[in-house]
Amino acid sequence: MTTALLIIDVQNAILEGEGTPERQPAIDEALDETVGRLQSIQARARAARVPVFLVQHDSGHGSSMARSSTGWDLRDEIAPVPGETIIHKRNCDSFFQTDLQEELEKRSISHLVVGGCMTQFCIDTTVRRAVSLGYDVTLLSDGHATGDMGELTFAQIVTHHNALLSGFNAGAHGVELRRSSEIAF
């Protein structure tokens, strides 16, 4: 099994305004902690020569994450080094209308370690799609983040999606949850 690390949408403006003014500081703090864990696992992947793929979302002209804006930029903590692949997307699914699957196939990747942002949208959709395409997925249970949504806090959303995705499968392929500290490449 050939493994790659897939970090989704860890961009400057990803959780900007995703909570009330009272809640935003807690969301920002949780995001910073998640990014720190992703930075650590990215360093371990690099040291083990495991391919790292970074997904970057473009929300379109006029948005805080429009291509080439400061908010669109990947966070400095996980910035790519030469040889790492950046996948540009405009939808929740990192495979939809991108070259992600082609890039994974070129490297004979069969297992993805996944973390990043927007748990209920981009993480959930990409993880489910990866499994349906025949990849095994390790979802970093403490390596994805989101903002509050309606009455649900970010922590409730992350917990809920960890429970939903744990053991999700399509045939012989499925999702396993692991804490980022448990990942060894």
Residues near 124 by beta carbon (within 8 Å), at least 6 away in sequence: 92, 161, 164, 165
What is the predicted pLDDT for the residue at 24? 96
Tens-level pLDDT at each residue, the chain (185 residues): 799 999 999 999 999 989 899 999 999 999 999 999 999 999 999 999 999 999 999 988 888 888 989 989 999 999 999 999 999 999 999 999 999 999 999 999 999 999 999 999 999 999 999 999 999 999 999 999 999 999 999 999 999 999 999 999 999 999 999 999 999 99
Distance in angstroms (rounded) separating the CA atoms of residues 5 and 25? 28
What is the predicted pLDDT for the residue at 60? 82
Count the Cβ atoms, other than its own, within 10 Å of residue 82.
Answer: 4
What are the phi and psi torsion angles at 41 (to 5°)?
-70, -35
- Report the DSSP beta bridge partners of residue 7: 54, 115
Residues near 178 by beta carbon (within 8 Å), at least 6 away in sequence: 138, 139, 140, 141
- DSSP annotation of 152 reads B
What is the predicted pLDDT for the residue at 62? 82
Sign of torsion over alpha carbons 111, 138, 58, 70 = negative
What is the predicted pLDDT for the residue at 135? 98
Distance in angstroms (rounded) separating the CA atoms of residues 77 and 38? 9
pLDDT tens across 8-59, in order?
A: 999 999 999 898 999 999 999 999 999 999 999 999 999 999 999 999 999 8
What the chain holds in terms of domains, given with CATH numbers, is: 3-182 (3.40.50.850)
Within the chain, residue ranges assigned H as helices are: 24-47, 100-106, 124-132, 154-165
